[in-house]
Amino acid sequence: MATENKNLSNYDKNTIPNTNGLRFGIVVSEWNENVTGGMYKGAVDALLDNGVPQDAIVTWNVPGSFELVYGSKKMIETQNVDAVIAIGSVIQGETKHFDFVCEAVSQGIKDLNVLTDVPVIFCVLTDNTMQQAIDRSGGKHGNKGTEAAIVAIRMAHLRNSLL
């Protein structure tokens, strides 16, 4: 595994763009909440660590990962955010449900990035086991929520530099 024993959530604050005046949305799936809650905490902590005030972070919960696309779309339409982080966790089961949800969510988030002017950051774990998800939501492989927040800052900065 490429990330074995490597924490990818470490970042150099000196390389992160200024966050003054930026607003961020976070849409979080309630399904696999022990995983998505860890990623949510990582995302919020990274945003705060990089100067985003708490009142510039809008959080909405949705029932599952499939609903992240609709929640992200509505957040873009109503909350005047500079970027949205879509946080979810889908774990392989015995049926094809995993494939359908993963495909729909990844395509839906891609569509939002193509059709809207607000970047939507894909922070959806698609793991084979719960342990893999735990390892990536604050465990030995870091926190994908932290990584997504750094990406959101960079993409919001890019968006605003092009306006």
Residues 113 and 151: beta-carbon distance below 8 Å = no
Write down the catalytic residue from 13, 18, 63, 97: 97
Closest to 24 measured CA to CA, from 150, 162, 134: 150
Could you tell me if residue 44 is left (phi over 0), alpha (psi between -120 and 50 degrees) or otherwise beta? alpha
Bridge partners, 143 (sequence order): 137
Structure-block tokens of residue 123:
């922070």
Active-site residue, 141 included: no
Length of the chain: 163
Cα–Cα distance measured from residue 16 to residue 34, given in angstroms and rounded to the nearest whole number: 28
Which residues, in sequence order, are CB contacts of 52 under 8 Å at separation 6+? Answer: 19, 22, 24, 153
Which residues belong to the active site? 97
